[in-house]
């Protein structure tokens, strides 16, 4: 019997997951809720929002969906996995309490400090006066974080004391991140290159994906405001097999163990963001789902049927599965709307995607696009242009050749994705 799978979310990550699943001979029908202008070609887009858990449960039951896959963080924090499991429905992702490692930075920091997992030194505050006194004692550089989910905008890397004071006022006095800023984590600034580690987890065992690297700031040379991510490469060749093993032993394994000890067995995808400092890898944060845009690069390299992996995570049979990857490299260049991550226009016409996909090795994943008789922009990050190649250089050349064939008013992208790894 062919299977029906529902993917929840509307970004480039979800298009990439749908693209990979659509190649599985086991799939009968794919649905994406709500999906985007790209997912409509390979799946049926369902007009239900990713956080509308009651509607998603009803849809899953009435359409006899075999497996649901959660893309974004928000539904996990709202307990979508618990709601599905309570109805006997199969779903890929962690429960609400396991996902707390992402939706509360304060929880994650306390867990790491109890379990001896390397991370930036920190203090947690819920009173403005005490937080202010602390940053004044510490001085800059310093990092101020709203503890909760803040659409990727709750972290302030402050080079001056004045910036840190402004950050605290925004979070704790002006409440710009609402309840996500009720608690604030103030931490030591970590220097070093950033990498993304991903692990498939089934509640008992886990398997690491190759290391990836995202590029968070909007402009070249890591300048300007932080974004959701402007481009990725995978694998990162300077991260040796030995270094990866070390990360597994000192970070991933003890984290999963600490969660299990607290009755929060983690199933789904655990994604620690790390800084590779001169005193070793340190955790910047944990995510409880696939990275976006890491997933866009990963899906281009994955050889094994993704459905087999996701089902093994849900069923607790990961130990029996061998996960295989293509050799070579993948790159993803994000094309964003002009003005992003601040205000930007929507509803702009897009041209050139078909031409871009004629470049050898290139696949274009959609993120902020919509179709209303014509393909239009609808978000800040619009497309993820991916390419594979035998070398990182080849992958990047192909991806950039394709990027230049795509046009819409005000398009912006970083010209230096992967440059640090070449």
Ligand X SMILES: Nc1ncnc2c1ncn2[C@@H]1O[C@H](COP(=O)(O)OP(=O)(O)O)[C@@H](O)[C@H]1O
Query: What is the chain's Cα-based Rg?
Result: 21
Whichever of 26 and 193 has its CB closer to ligand X, that residue is 193
For residues 268 and 341, which CB has a smaller minimum distance to ligand X in the complex? 341
Closest by alpha carbon to 105, among 200, 182, 189?
A: 182
Among positions 67-86, residues that touch ligand X (CB under 6 A) are: none
- Which residue is nearest to ligand X, using beta carbons? 285
Rounded Cα distance between 233 and 386, Å, is 9
- Choose which of 285, 292, 294, 311 interacts with ligand X (CB under 6 A): 285
Strands (E), 84-176: 91-92, 122-125, 142-146, 155-158
User: 412, 335 in Cβ contact below 8 A?
Assistant: yes
Pick from 34, 254, 273, 280 the residue near ligand X by CB under 6 A: 273
Residue 16 engages ligand X in binding (rule: CB under 6 A): no
C-alpha distance from residue 402 to each of 67, 182, 199, 230, 368 (Å):
34, 44, 30, 16, 18
Q: Which is nearer to ligand X, 143 or 299 (CB)?
A: 143
Q: Smallest Cα–Cα separation from 375: which of 412, 334, 347, 338?
A: 347
Query: Could you tell me if 267 and 256 are in contact, meaning their C-beta atoms sit under 8 angstroms apart?
Result: no
Residue 233: both structure tokens together = 């490469």
Decide which of ligand X, Mg ion, none touches 403; Cβ closer than 5 to 8 Å per partner kind. Answer: none
Contacts of 293 (CB under 8 A, 6+ apart): 12, 13, 214, 229, 230, 231, 232, 332, 334, 381, 384
Nearest to 403 by CA among 349, 343, 331: 331
* Nearest distance from C-beta of residue 4 to ligand X, angstroms: 32
Shortest approach of ligand X to residue 236 CB, angstroms?
A: 15
Of the pair 287, 377, the CB lying nearest Mg ion is at 287
Phi, psi of 38 (to 5 degrees): -95, -35
Least Å distance, CB 401 to ligand X, is 28
CA torsion through residues 27, 29, 33, 35, sign: positive
The conformation of residue 252, written as its DSSP 8-state character, comes to I
Binding status of residue 270 toward ligand X by CB under 6 A:
no
Respond yes or no on whether the N-terminal peptide bond of residue 101 is cis (omega within 30° of 0): no
- Using CB under 6 A as the binding rule, whether residue 305 contacts ligand X is answered as no
Distance in Å, CB of 177 to ligand X, minimum:
11
Q: To the nearest whole angstrom, how small is the minimum distance from the Cβ of residue 192 to ligand X?
A: 8
Nearer to Mg ion, 105 or 206 (CB): 105
Interface with ligand X: number of residues (CB under 6 A): 17
Nearer CB in complex with ligand X: 61/178: 178
Contacts to Mg ion from residues 320-339, by CB under 5 A:
none
**Minimum distance of ligand X from residue 327's CB (angstroms):** 28
170 or 285: whose CB is closer to ligand X? 285
**Whose Cβ is closer to Mg ion: residue 285's or residue 305's?**
285
Give the x-and-dash track for 112-151 against ligand X (CB under 6 A).
Answer: --------x----------------------x-x------
Place of tokens 């890591």: 222
Q: How far apart are CA 73 and CA 21, in angstroms?
A: 20
Residues 6+ apart with CB under 8 A from 358: none
User: What SS3 state is found at 285?
Assistant: strand
Give min distance, CB of 94 to Mg ion, in A.
Answer: 17
Q: Mask: binding to Mg ion, 249-278, rule CB under 5 A, as x and -?
A: ------------------------x-----
In the shown chain, the binding pattern of residues 163 to 202 toward ligand X, with x for contact by CB under 6 A and - for none, equals: ------------------------xxxx---x--------
Minimal distance in Å, beta carbon 396 to ligand X?
A: 21
Residue whose CB is less far from ligand X, 98 or 157? 157
Least distance (Å) between residue 169 CB and ligand X = 19
CB–CB of 213/193 below 8 Å? yes
Site for Mg ion, rule CB under 5 A: 273, 285
Site for ligand X, rule CB under 6 A: 120, 143, 145, 152, 154-155, 157, 187-190, 194, 216, 226, 273, 284-285
């Amino acid at each position: 019997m062919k299977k029906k799978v529902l993917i929840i979310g509307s970004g480039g990550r979800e298009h990439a997951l749908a693209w990979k699943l659509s190649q599985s001979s086991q799939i009968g029908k794919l649905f994406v809720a709500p999906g985007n202008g790209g997912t409509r070609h390979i799946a049926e887009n369902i007009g239900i929002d990713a956080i509308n858990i009651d509607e998603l449960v009803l849809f899953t039951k009435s359409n006899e969906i075999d497996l649901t896959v959660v893309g974004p963080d928000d539904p996990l924090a709202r307990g979508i996995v618990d709601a599905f499991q309570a109805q006997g429905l199969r779903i890929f992702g962690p429960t609400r309490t396991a996902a707390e490692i992402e939706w509360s930075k304060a929880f994650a920091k306390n867990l790491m400090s109890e379990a001896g997992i390397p991370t930036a030194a920190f203090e947690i505050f819920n009173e403005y006066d005490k937080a202010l006194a602390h940053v004044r004692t510490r001085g800059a550089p310093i990092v101020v974080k709203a503890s909760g989910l803040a659409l990727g905008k709750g972290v302030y890397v402050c080079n001056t004391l004045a910036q840190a004071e402004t950050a605290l006022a925004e979070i704790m006095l002006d409440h710009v991140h609402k309840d996500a800023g009720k608690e604030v984590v103030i931490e030591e600034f970590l220097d070093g290159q950033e990498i993304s580690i991903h692990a498939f987890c089934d509640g008992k065992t886990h398997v690491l994906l190759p290391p990836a690297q995202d590029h968070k700031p909007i402009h070249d040379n890591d300048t300007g405001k932080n974004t959701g991510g402007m481009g990725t490469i995978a694998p990162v060749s300077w991260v040796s097999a030995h270094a990866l093993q070390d990360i597994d032993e000192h970070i991933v394994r003890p984290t999963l163990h600490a969660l299990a000890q607290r009755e929060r067995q983690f199933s789904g995808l655990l994604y620690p963001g790390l800084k590779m400092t001169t005193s070793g890898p340190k955790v910047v944060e944990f995510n409880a789902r696939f990275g976006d845009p890491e997933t866009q690069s990963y899906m281009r390299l994955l050889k094994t049927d993704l459905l087999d992996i996701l089902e093994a995570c849900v069923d607790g049979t990961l130990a029996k599965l061998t996960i295989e990857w293509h050799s070579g490299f993948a790159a993803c260049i994000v094309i964003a709307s002009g003005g992003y991550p601040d205000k930007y226009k929507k509803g702009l016409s897009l041209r050139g995607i078909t031409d871009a996909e004629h470049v050898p090795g290139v696949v274009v994943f959609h993120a902020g696009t919509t179709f209303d008789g014509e393909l239009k922009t609808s978000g800040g990050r619009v497309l993820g242009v991916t390419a594979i190649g035998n070398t990182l250089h080849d992958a990047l050349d192909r991806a950039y050749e394709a990027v230049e064939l795509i046009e819409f008013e005000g398009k912006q992208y970083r010209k230096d994705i992967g440059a640090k790894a070449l």
